[in-house]
Structure 1
Amino acid sequence: MGHGELRGVVALDGPSGTGKSSVARKLAAALGARYLDTGAMYRAVALAVLRAGVDPADAERVAAVAATADLVQTTDPEASTTTLDGTDVGAEIRGPEVTTAVSPVSAVPEVRELLVAEQRRIIAEALEQVGGIVVEGRDIGTAVAPSAELKVYLTADAHARAQRRSRQDAASGRAASLDQTLADVRRRDDYDSTRAVSPLRPAEDAVELDTTSLDLPATLAALLELVEDRGLRVAAQPTGRVGG
């Protein structure tokens, strides 16, 4: 398998509803790079906790569940999958129960230590195999890949983010009122930005990009320009389909 056009790591951080997942996939696909959704990994652990009947606030038991969960996250931007104990849980981890549980679960230090180690392994593998990877989450530039060649912190007005989440939920058949979604967005913002371990915040050297008034193509164009400006895009070598 040949290398794609991206050289290095693009770290995309920011709160929910800023368009991270959609634009990260598009960016990785456009550059022949791999794509890592770290949020899906935390959601999968939260699902494992719920399946085990463990209180997400019980840090000790949550850590024990995380240590034994069989979690696999693939990195093809065209077909990224999340499997738990051999089963694809990509749809289930987006449900309201997991959305409520993921913040306290992801705040457990042992969970973060375990998943950050796995995320770094995946990043190293992608760099070796195809030359570049787009990684999205909440602590990529500050904790997972602090030496990333490009760090971008996506922001957007809370109401705009809630509207986007509501549209995504409706498209996936998950019913939720805009008011409820807005409350969930603000709850996660508060929880993620005030947790003791790897709080949500931009890296000191991150470029901040406000997507409130940007649609997906405009956001993608802005990111591609940043990649070009950093000299991270090179002529692609012959390559097959990105897998992993």
Structure 2
Amino acid sequence: MAGLVVAMDGPSGSGKSSVSRAVARELGLRYLDTGAMYRAMTWWMLRQGVDLDDPEAIAARSGEPEITSGTDPDAPAIAVDGEDVAGPIRGPEVTAAVSAVSAVPEVRRRLVAQQQAIMDESCRDGAGIVIEGRDIGLVVAPQAPVKIFLTASAEARARRRTAELTGTTVEAQQAAMARRDTLDSTRAASPLAKADDAVELDTTALSLEEVISEVLRLTKERTP
């Protein structure tokens, strides 16, 4: 599996993070959560008081923060200007705003370039990497030999997200996810979409262990 790139795409609540980390751990690969990078950029914009209804304002400042992402599946790390933001970027304020920031082309160009640099370094080192996000198979790593697109029913995704959070309901999460799905899939820059050569895996009726097992099987099947 040395030098292997696994592209893992899908909407929120489909199980990307848990599955990607487990697969990376099992195969001895590095791991990159691209969504955390967009959340980190959003956190910085909010902290700086940037008007997130103004794409030009976001674009103008998108080159300022230094975003550093770790690749250890057992301890994924994300920092902005040296500050650990792994906790703050998962808050409701960032979650509500990340789609708006992610839709700005200048933000995507900068972070996609950084993601590809991390991927290239992993391959040069012979380590290989599992990269998860929404545009991996189509934009970040179109050459990846293994592409998986995870899906699940809207209710299942909302249930999973509600279990991770406090002070929310399945109905509220389902509405929030529907809004984010629409924004992510209709943006002009790198929309959420399945690559033609990706394997779609519906996780609605599957346990986490079953999904991990199936992704491992598909990965080994498609790897010389």
Work out whether the TM-score is over 0.5.
Answer: yes
Aligned counterparts of 1:91 and 1:176: Cα–Cα separation in 2: 18
Conservation of the 8 A alpha-carbon contact between 1:17 and 1:161: yes
The alpha carbon displacement at 1:6 in A equals 4.6
Aligned counterparts of 2:26 and 2:60: Cα–Cα separation in 1: 39
Count of aligned pairs: 224
Choose which of 102, 113, 117 in structure 2 pairs with 1:117: 113
Choose which of 103, 110, 122 in structure 2 pairs with 1:107: 103
Conservation of the 8 A alpha-carbon contact between 1:48 and 1:66: no
SS at match of 2:50: coil
State the 4+ residue runs in structure 1 displaced beyond 4 angstroms: none
Which residue number corresponds to residue 37 of structure 1?
33
Conservation of the 8 A alpha-carbon contact between 1:33 and 1:130: no
Choose which of 61, 79, 84 in structure 1 pairs with 2:80: 84
Choose which of 136, 139, 143 in structure 2 pairs with 1:147: 143
Aligned counterparts of 1:128 and 1:137: Cα–Cα separation in 2: 22
Which residue number corresponds to residue 181 of structure 2?
189
SS at match of 2:62: helix
The alpha carbon displacement at 1:91 in A equals 1.0
The alpha carbon displacement at 1:127 in A equals 1.1
CA deviation string 1:152-196 (max 9, x = no partner): 111100110000011112xxxx42122111111111111111111
Q: Percent identity?
A: 53
Aligned counterparts of 2:170 and 2:95: Cα–Cα separation in 1: 15
Aligned counterparts of 1:141 and 1:206: Cα–Cα separation in 2: 7
**Gaps (5+ residues) in structure 2?**
none
Counterparts of 1:214-225 in structure 2 under 5 Å?
A: 214-225=206-217
Choose which of 167, 176, 179 in structure 1 pairs with 2:171: 179
The alpha carbon displacement at 1:57 in A equals 2.1
Pair 1:210 & 2:206 matched: no
Q: CA RMSD in A?
A: 1.1
Which residue number corresponds to residue 51 of structure 2?
55
Which residue number corresponds to residue 191 of structure 2?
199
**Gaps (5+ residues) in structure 1?**
233-244
Aligned counterparts of 2:65 and 2:84: Cα–Cα separation in 1: 14
The alpha carbon displacement at 1:65 in A equals 2.6
* TM-score where L is the length of structure 2: 0.97
SS at match of 2:26: helix
